[in-house]
């Protein structure tokens, strides 16, 4: 039975320059119809659900659904929730205020993730972000006031044109916020995004590697646990929903473009909003692209996901790597630690995780 639910809420006021997600710019008049569609799909999928330990409302800009609709959605999910479930929502700073956060908290949301990306005006402009640094600060203050169990911020590094001084300024800003959790990702310019079309270039690999090491060092110095490749938390504030993904647990995704992995099968819902709404109205389920996962794929994913974490990987659970003969060399090189049937990356190994994985595993 599935214990982790993702709900995709695709509406956005505009598309950011780096965004390759399934979003609907404008179309706010479709929000009520979309809420109905989600409830239809949820009802159809109810037999798959166990007691849900986590629910994640992602997007898009979920907070554009507004509190009334979020409350209706969570009320529909509530009969399937376990006691003490983590309920997360992503929030763009310009779409929330004190009243919005109070309403979300009253609706049952326990965790909020605020999209900052940067505090530097030039970088925000280059990313086509609407929120200002002041709006990020205000959103964090309002979220804390509302009493969420955890408040997180998302940031990017390796932004085209980003300087070392700007990165250090962002670090100072994050430290001053004093949030419970930080996700700090290296920007990847995906095909067909605005940044790709304009030929934007990220800083070189050496700059990015130095930046990543500085981020880890400074956040650990501020008391955050580097518990996953790009995620840092104060004690007890790890994202339980994301830990479900990284432990290769089954999860159900509902909504346009949402992905699910259940009982060895992965599927993705149609990415067209009109098709989604029509199909769930007729049958309760949208059109889907199905992908059965063979044993080798699942084994490789367990290694890929498990080594992202700061906890040892149990090889009895994960299965053997494709190239066990390299383990001794990686251990001797100070990249892996072996303790019986448990494998973990050393601190040095965590900074070159992808290179280690490609030594161990065969990835297409």
pLDDT above 80 (res 363): no
DSSP letter at 309? B
Q: What is the mean pLDDT of residues 196-217?
A: 96
Q: Domain extents for the chain?
A: 2-246, 295-360
For 81-131, the pLDDT digits (tens) are 999 999 999 999 999 999 999 999 999 999 999 999 999 999 999 999 999
How would residue 319 be classed by pLDDT, with cut points 50, 70 and 90?
Answer: very high
For 41-95, the pLDDT digits (tens) are 999 999 999 999 999 999 999 999 999 999 999 999 999 999 999 999 999 999 9
Q: How far apart are CA 234 and CA 224, in angstroms?
A: 5
Q: 307: part of which helix (H) or strand (E)?
A: none
pLDDT above 70 (res 364): no
For 148-181, the pLDDT digits (tens) are 999 999 999 999 999 999 999 999 999 999 999 9
Q: How far apart are CA 272 and CA 27, in angstroms?
A: 13
pTM recorded for the entire structure = 0.97
For 35-51, the pLDDT digits (tens) are 999 999 999 999 999 99
DSSP letter at 250? -
- Which residues on adjacent β-strands are paired with residue 231? 183, 228
Asked if 152 contacts 114 with a C-beta cutoff of 8 angstroms, the reply is yes
Task: Look at the chain and count its residues.
Answer: 364
Strand, helix or coil at 256?
Answer: coil
Asked if 227 contacts 254 with a C-beta cutoff of 8 angstroms, the reply is no
Q: What is the mean pLDDT of residues 268-276?
A: 97
pLDDT above 70 (res 318): yes
Asked if 121 contacts 132 with a C-beta cutoff of 8 angstroms, the reply is yes
Asked if 78 contacts 42 with a C-beta cutoff of 8 angstroms, the reply is no
DSSP 227-272: EETTEEESTT---HHHHHHHTT--BEEESTT-EEEETTEEEEE-S-
DSSP 162-189: --HHHHHHHHHHHHHHT-SEEEEEEP--
Tell how strand 150-157 and strand 111-117 pair up.
parallel
Q: What is the topology classification, in CATH, of domain 295-360?
A: Arc Repressor Mutant, subunit A (1.10.10)
Is the CATH number of domain 2-246 3.20.20.70?
Answer: yes
């Amino acid at each position: 039975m599935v214990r982790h639910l993702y709900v995709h809420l695709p509406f956005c006021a505009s598309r950011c320059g780096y965004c390759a997600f399934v979003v609907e710019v404008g179309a706010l008049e479709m929000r009520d119809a979309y809420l109905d569609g989600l409830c239809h799909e949820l009802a159809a999928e109810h037999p798959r659900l166990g007691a849900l330990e986590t629910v994640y409302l992602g997007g898009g800009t979920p907070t554009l659904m507004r509190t009334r609709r979020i409350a209706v959605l969570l009320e529909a999910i509530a009969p399937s929730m376990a006691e003490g479930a983590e309920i997360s929502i992503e929030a763009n700073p310009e779409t929330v205020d004190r009243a919005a956060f109070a309403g979300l908290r009253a609706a049952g949301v326990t965790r909020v993730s605020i999209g900052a990306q940067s505090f530097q005006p030039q970088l925000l402009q280059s990313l086509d972000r609407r929120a200002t640094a002041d709006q990020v600060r205000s959103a964090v203050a309002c979220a804390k006031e509302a009493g969420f169990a955890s408040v997180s911020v998302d940031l990017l590094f390796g932004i085209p044109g980003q300087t070392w001084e700007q990165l250090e300024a962002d670090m100072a800003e994050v430290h001053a916020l004093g949030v419970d959790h930080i996700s700090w990702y290296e920007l990847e310019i995906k095909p067909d995004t605005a940044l790709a079309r304009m030929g934007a270039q990220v800083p070189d690999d050496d700059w990015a590697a130095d930046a990543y090491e500085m981020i880890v060092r400074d956040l650990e110095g501020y008391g955050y646990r580097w518990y996953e490749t790009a995620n840092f938390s104060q004690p007890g504030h790890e994202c339980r929903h994301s830990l479900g993904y990284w432990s290769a647990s089954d999860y159900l995704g509902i909504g346009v473009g949402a992905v699910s992995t259940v009982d060895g099968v992965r599927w993705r819902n149609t990415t067209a909003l009109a098709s989604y709404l029509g199909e769930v109205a007729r049958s309760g389920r949208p059109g889907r692209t199905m992908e059965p996962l063979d044993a080798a794929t699942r084994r490789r994913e367990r290694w890929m996901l498990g080594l992202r974490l700061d906890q040892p990987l149990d090889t009895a659970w994960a299965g053997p790597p494709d190239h066990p003969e390299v383990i001794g060399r990686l251990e001797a090189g100070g990249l892996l630690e072996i303790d019986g049937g448990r494998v973990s990356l050393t601190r040095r190994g965590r900074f070159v995780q992808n290179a280690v994985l490609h030594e161990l595993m065969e990835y297409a």
